[in-house]
Amino acid sequence: MKVRTRFAPSPTGYMHIGNLRTAIFEYLLAKKYNGDFILRIEDTDQQRAVDGAIEFIYKTLELCNFKIDEGPMNEKEYGPYIQSERKDIYKKYALELVEKQRAYYCFCTEEELEEMRKKATLRKKPFLYDGRCSHLSKEQIAENLKNGVPYVIRQKMPKTGVTIVEDIIYGKIKIDNSILDDQILLKSDGFPTYNFANVVDDHLMKITHVIRGKEYLDQTAKYNLLYDAFGWEKPIYAHVAMVLGEDGNKLSKRNGDASFMDLFDMGFLPEAIVNYLSLLGWSPNNNQEFFTMEELIANFDESRISKSSSQYDVKKLEWFNHHYIINMDNQKYLNWIKKYFKQDVHDKDENWIDKLLLVYKDHLNYGKQINEVTNNFFIKDISLDNEEIEFLKSDEKISTILKEYSKEIESIIEWSVENINKAIENVKNNLGVKGKLLYMPIRIVASGFMHGPELADTLYLIGKDTILDRLNK
């Protein structure tokens, strides 16, 4: 059996990190077994579809180094891969279930359904359709169809017993049939529901493994009943626990959720994002943290996917990204970081700019941060925060140290890193100071920051005249 997994997003905009994490697991599983990774677009909710979203999904997966074996833009024998182009297929299979008496026409109006919902609310119970249309006679159904009465097709659920869901992470799960609603399979506009289209497509596209969120376990019981109704073989399921936000709640924009492109536009590297997200809910059998895509594929073991929820931590993602930045080839780094560098450099030459960007290579967590850390190189007057001011007031020697720096820097004839280091060494020897007291005062006054790259490199790039001007102020 050839392993085939599918990633089936809705074309509603950017891909968020929870969806991307699922795609990563599906991709790694397929490629571990030399299988196929299929992209399928679930656009049954036409009102939410966004123009250009399919191309955007392809671009995102391409940036993440995914090889899409089949999809809307590289169709093979199981297409089309966009659900709105498969409406006739779904109707055929829905009618087959009606013939088998495993589904039925439902002609209930929205007013009738709303009345049922109100009664359920009064009884403080979840709304379940009462199945009234499943008792209509053949004559009543034929008359309604003849008269063009709007209808949906509902799945006929068993009302007693349990349905078993086999899962490679959670084992054997028993779902009580009494909680299963007679779900709609085909809507009145002819479009299938998400649950029905998934089952039909997964069967026809020969999907062998389905990875989805743990919150859909109950829905999987409905899937299994559909597979049984058709007499089809079920795929192997892996339900993964949720990715939670930084506050421990479900991911949302308020607690750290972001789309892949939000992160990419900020200057997070795709390989860092994939590496970090792959470890949210999965762990290798060793302590390795940094993986290439090839290493992830080789090390991935679906049995090591955790049953527990994982927490998205932007600081941890920054730590991963920092690792990838500092390990970049310098020329590759310069080509990359210049896309994010937005300072006004009209009076600076290319060599100076390259040196500035390289000096900060080891100090960046993401691309756009380069503007924040270099801003004081491009303004005349800098402002100090309270912590910096407090430090400058913390020792009576600091005023003398700064005066000594002013004298030493003034005396430099050839402005070079080597001569700046000599000036720093002279201050150290002349005043007998070292450590923070030696380096921090000049760093704060000259650059406006308490921390940063090597002091001599920083001073060299700021320039002699600017440093003296700031010291004198």
User: What is the pLDDT confidence band of residue 253, given thresholds at 50, 70 and 90?
Assistant: low
Across the range 46-65, mean pLDDT stands at 85
| pLDDT above 70 (res 191) | yes
Computed over every residue of the chain, the mean pLDDT equals: 94
269 pLDDT higher than 70:
yes
Q: What is the pLDDT of residues 361-383, one digit of tens each?
A: 999 999 999 999 999 999 888 99
Residues of the chain with CATH 1.10.10.350: 386-472
The residues that are catalytic are 253
Question: Distance (Å, rounded) from C-alpha 194 to C-alpha 74?
Answer: 23
Return the minimum-mean-pLDDT range out of 273-277, 279-283, 344-348: 344-348
Predicted confidence (pLDDT) per residue in 307-322, tens digit: 999 999 999 999 999 9
Whole-number pLDDT of residue 36: 98
Task: Quickly state the pLDDT bin for 135 (edges 50, 70, 90).
Answer: very high
Give dist(CA 449, CA 454) in Å, integer.
12
Lowest-pLDDT choice from 61-70, 343-352, 436-445: 343-352
Distance from C-alpha of 20 to C-alpha of 268, rounded to nearest angstrom: 15
Residue 257 confidence (pLDDT) above 80: no
Q: Which CATH fold would you assign to the domain 86-240?
A: Rossmann fold (3.40.50)
* Residue 245 to residue 265: CA distance in whole angstroms: 20
Using the predicted structure, report yes or no on whether residue 255 has a pLDDT greater than 70.
Answer: no
10 Å CB burial of residue 70 (0-12, 13-18, 19+) is: buried
Identity of the amino acid at 183: Q
Can you tell me the distance from the alpha carbon of 160 to that of 201, in angstroms, rounded to the nearest whole number? Answer: 28
Dist. CA 415–CA 411, nearest whole Å: 10
CB-based contacts of 54, cutoff 8 Å, min separation 6: 11, 41, 72, 73, 82
Quick one: pLDDT band at residue 323, thresholds 50, 70, 90? very high
CA 132 to centroid of chain Cα atoms: 43
Q: Residue 385 above 80 pLDDT? A: yes
Cβ atoms of residues 367 and 337 within 8 Å: yes
List pLDDT tens digits, range 143-153: 999 999 999 99
What residues contact residue 189 under an 8 Å CB cut-off, 6+ apart? Answer: none
Amino acid making up residue 99: E
pLDDT at 338 (0 to 100): 97
- Would you place residue 33 in the very low, low, confident or very high pLDDT band (cuts 50, 70, 90)? very high
Q: For position 173, what pLDDT does the model report?
A: 94
Per-residue confidence (pLDDT) for residue 80, from 0 to 100: 96
Quick check: pTM over 0.85?
Answer: yes
Tell me what pLDDT residue 256 has.
65
Query: Residue 49: what pLDDT?
Result: 67
Mean pLDDT of 166-195: 94
| Mean pLDDT value of segment 325-349 | 94
Instruction: Look at domain 386-472 and name its CATH class.
Output: mainly alpha
Please check the confidence at residue 45 and state whether its pLDDT lies above 80.
no
Cα–Cα dist 184/193, whole Å: 7
Q: Does 230 have pLDDT greater than 90?
A: yes
pLDDT in the model for residue 233: 97
Mean pLDDT of 79-88: 94
CA distance 292 to 297: 9
Ranges for all domains in the chain classified under CATH 3.40.50.620? 86-240
Q: Is the pLDDT of residue 46 over 80?
A: no
- Mapped onto helix, strand or coil, the DSSP state of residue 319 is helix
- Enumerate residues 6+ apart whose C-beta is below 8 A from 375: 343
pLDDT score, position 16? 87
pLDDT number for residue 247: 80
- Asked if residues 281 and 21 have their Cβ atoms less than 8 Å apart, the reply is yes
User: What residue type is assigned to position 95 of the chain?
Assistant: L
Q: For the chain, what percentages of helix, strand and coil (3-state, to nearest 5) are there?
A: 50, 10, 35
- Res 345: pLDDT: 82
Tell me which of 244 and 4 has the higher pLDDT. Answer: 4
Residue with tokens 């991307």: 20
Decide if 222 contacts 103 (C-beta within 8 A).
Answer: no
Residues forming a β-bridge with 186: 153, 192
Give mean pLDDT, residues 447-467: 94
